[in-house]
Amino acid sequence: MWTRWITPYYALLERGREGISGHHAPGRGIMDPPLACAETAGKADGPETSMSLRSCFSQGLKQLHHTQELCNATLVAGGKRFPCNRALLASVSPYFQAMFSSGFKESRDGEVLLKDMDPGILQNLLSYLYSGELTLSPENAEEVFVATSRLQLKPALALVSRYLMERISLESCLRLYMLAHDHNHRTLLRGTLDYLQIHFGTLSHHKDFPCLDLEAFVSIISSDRLAVASEMDVFQAIQRWVVAMPADRLSTLRTLLQHLRFPLLTQDETAHLQVDLAMLDPQLELQWEELDGAGRLQQGRVLRQGMYQERIVCIRVPRLGDILSASDEEDCYLECLNPATGSRTKLPPLPLVALPGCSVLEHRLYISGGKHPDGSYSQALQEYNSLADVWHQLPAMSTPRSVHMFLTCQQKLFALSGWNDSGPLASAESFDVARQVWSPIASLPITLRFSASVPYKAKLYLIGGDADSVAVVYQGILIYDIHLDTWAQVPLGCCLHGASAVALETGICVIGGFFSKKATHLSPNRTFSPHLQCTSKGFFFLESGVISQEVAIPPLPLPLAFAGATVSQGKVYLMGGVCASRTHDAIYHWEPGEVAWTQYPESLTGQGALVRRVLKCVTLKVANPKLDALLRDPCICRVAIGAAEPKPPC
């Protein structure tokens, strides 16, 4: 059954293209804003004239479509003829523009034969061009997609691809992936590929899976983002794909095996693989090398997404006084927490420094700068690889700094502001992880310490903080665009420092901290003003820096500042911090949609560790237990690394 949802043009324009909202029911018509029309009125009467022009343009096109007046072209599909206006077609479709502005027969005769196109689909598209109404349903959406792609009706194509993406399921994913692949539609291809990678284990058994062509299949099995716990899952998918059409596909087996990460297989898995390969191709042999766990990691390249688990890394000992009082046994202040089980492990030792920067990129943890026990400032950069369980020293920052913001965004590390012997710093620099090079970036407009900091999309956000340059608590948000290398300031409307911040899918959560609605100066000794009260509340803001009610953050069980915050498995974790000038060691977690925070069963000192305020916590990826044992095994053994080259015929 077909239904329509009809919204006036001017309403859509005022709503800023909200006509493609994802909440329409199946079978409803989707409205798109009309074609742009010239507006020549002066500023004083602009809005009224603009509304009148839009309304007239909308009604006029509908009337012309109804009466079929001023038609100078005819589209033919399925034996049916559709009179229309070539200028309208050419204005929205490069396909028709090229056809009507060239010397083609269609340009002279004005008649275009559209073979293999359903007349009902064409009528739907013409109705969209004249009225902005596009009727979509689960039954017709894919056919409409093919027609809009063929005719290059980009506005309609955007609508129907959005409609399809919102309805990706286990049943439709592979079909839509092949559709997007055939039409080279990057947005739909990316959406279906993301879904396919997450649900690869299930979809590799789907009846449509063997229908993938070689190019599409290779692009999938070569992906790092497959949610598979073992490389054996990838081999079994290869096996099913080849067996579906052995006469045509057996010759591609060697090519497919090039994308299998053999060193990540256990000895038992390799033995099973050999048996299955012998059944597929008795002539195929494996290539072997003598490797230990580190060699397996080097030969296996990169782990798949599903081979990782998440751990929360907590940094303790944030202040110089804590370092000076630490005993020799307390040389490690980095601890990994498994939020699912509560188990904890210590990372390999690292020299103690006060107030360093901490950030993470996938399975690599970075510690930068800090203050040594002798009072000197560090410019060192240390990298911990959770797969190899070792620290490496990387090229140092150009400027020693402590109390700085340290963030990761798009394969780069960013060291921002801070403090050293020369006083507060406005300088900033970035480290290209791939090139292993530091580069200066635009300096901050003001120097900041103790800001809540977080990366989101291609921007860095510093919320509130201690503005050393003007001796006040900063009432704003600094936003750095990493592509433009520029800073922007957004007013916050309150004083805030020592808060925590995490990025969610649609924006940024800011939680706790010292808060005041009035401008607050620092006290004479440069410590935090006693007029600021610690808060238990939080707020959510969008990419633009505008506060939004889209996500409701419940208040914490008690006021907290300087707590570590991170996101793991969709939950926001808040750890440690300061409450009423005293160290707090509880752990809380909350998931968007929940009405309250939940206290974690154990505290930070649950295993008898020294009570210390958490400076930072980040979510680090580690190998799952089976792979972790394999990659850390010091024993050298015979490991398959790929398919051997075929032997030349005798």
- pLDDT tens digits, residue range 435-492? 999 999 999 999 998 899 999 999 999 999 988 655 578 889 999 999 999 999 999 9
Q: To which residue do tokens 């608590």 refer?
A: 473
Reply yes or no on whether the pLDDT at 345 is more than 80.
yes
At residue 168, the pLDDT reads 96
Residue with token string 């990761």: 408
Burial class of residue 68 in the structure, from the number of CB atoms within 10 Å of its CB (0-12 exposed, 13-18 middle, 19+ buried): exposed
Residues in CB range of 268: below 8 A, 6 or more apart = none
Q: Tokens 């003001």 label which residue? A: 446
Between 517 and 474, where is the model more confident? Answer: 474
What is the predicted pLDDT for the residue at 177? 94
> How do residues 176-224 score in pLDDT, each as one tens digit?
999 999 999 999 999 999 999 999 999 999 999 999 999 999 999 999 9
Band of residue 33 on the pLDDT scale cut at 50, 70, 90: very low
Closest CA to 507 of 478, 543, 475, 463: 543
Residues 618, 262: Cα–Cα separation, whole Å: 31
pLDDT bin (cut points 50, 70, 90) of residue 127 is confident
- 167: Cβ–Cβ under 8 A, 6 or more apart, which residues? 26, 138, 141
Higher-scoring residue by pLDDT: 74, 328: 74
> CATH homologous superfamily of domain 9-167?
Potassium Channel Kv1.1; Chain A (3.30.710.10)
Where is average pLDDT lowest: 302-316, 366-380, 457-471, 540-554?
457-471
Question: 108 or 599: whose pLDDT is higher?
Answer: 599
For residues 85-112, average pLDDT: 81
Is 471:519 a contact under the CB 8 Å cutoff?
no
- Give pTM, 2 decimals: 0.81
| SS3 at position 285 | coil
Q: Which of 134-138, 148-152, 579-583 bottoms out in mean pLDDT, i.e. has the lowest? A: 579-583
Position 463 scores a pLDDT of 96
Longest dimension (CA), the chain: 92
Q: What is the mean pLDDT of residues 111-126?
A: 91
**Which residues, 6 or more positions from 168, have their beta carbon under 8 angstroms from its beta carbon?**
176, 191, 192, 195
Flag whether pLDDT at 318 surpasses 70: no
Which of 18-27, 108-117, 123-132, 346-355 is the least confident region? 18-27
Is the predicted pLDDT of residue 45 greater than 50, yes or no? no
**The pLDDT value given to residue 172:** 95
- Whole-number pLDDT of residue 90: 85
pLDDT tens digits, one per residue of 139-172: 999 999 999 999 999 889 999 999 999 999 999 9
Which pLDDT score, from 0 to 100, does residue 20 have?
37
Q: If you write DSSP's letter for every residue of 551-604 in order, what string do you get?
A: SPPPPPSS--BS-EEEEETTEEEEE--EETTEE---EEEE-TT-SS-EE-SS-T
User: In the prediction, which pLDDT does 44 show?
Assistant: 42
**What would the mean pLDDT of 245-251 be, rounded to a whole number?**
95
What are the angstrom distances between the C-alpha of 134 and each of 97, 126, 406?
Answer: 22, 9, 48
Residue range 28-42: mean pLDDT, rounded: 39
pLDDT at 25 over 50: no
All residues at 6 or more sequence positions from 642 whose CB lies less than 8 Å from its CB, including other chains = 257, 258, 260, 262, 286, 287
What confidence tier does 34 reach under pLDDT thresholds 50, 70, 90?
Answer: very low
- Give the pLDDT of residue 471: 57
Range 374-380 average pLDDT: 94
pLDDT score recorded for residue 334: 83
Check residue 315 and give its pLDDT: 83
**Residue 581's pLDDT is what?**
63
> In angstroms, rounded to a whole number, what is the distance separating the alpha carbons of residues 336 and 238?
36
Selection from 39-53, 108-122, 288-302, 611-625 with the highest mean pLDDT: 288-302
Residue with token string 């006040």: 472
Using alpha carbons, select from 588, 21, 607, 26 the residue that is nearest to residue 312: 588
Q: What is the pLDDT of residues 556-580, one digit of tens each?
A: 999 999 999 999 999 999 998 887 6
Q: 527 falls in which pLDDT band (50, 70, 90)?
A: very low
Share of the chain above pLDDT 90, in %: 61
Spatial distance between the Cα atoms of 119 and 417, rounded to a whole number of angstroms: 63
Give me the pLDDT at residue 520, please: 52
Helices (H) and strands (E) in the chain, counts: 19, 41
Q: Does residue 188 sit in helix, strand or coil?
A: helix
Q: How many CA atoms lie within 13 A of 113 on its CB side?
A: 5
Q: Is the pLDDT of residue 122 over 80?
A: yes
The C-alpha atoms of residue 439 and residue 392 are separated, in whole angstroms, by 20
Exposed/middle/buried for 63, CB within 10 Å: 0-12, 13-18, 19+?
A: exposed
Which of left, alpha, beta for 562 (phi over 0: left; psi -120 to 50: alpha)? left
- Look at residue 60 and tell me whether its pLDDT is greater than 70: no
- CA dist 466 and 462 (Å) reads 11
What average pLDDT is seen over the chain?
A: 84
Structure-block tokens of residue 183: 């039409």
For the cut 60, the answer to whether the pLDDT of residue 8 exceeds it is no
Q: Is pLDDT larger for residue 528 or for residue 147?
A: 147
More confident residue, 476 or 107: 476
The model's pLDDT over 402-431, given as tens digits with 9 standing for 90+, comes to 999 999 999 999 999 999 999 999 999 999
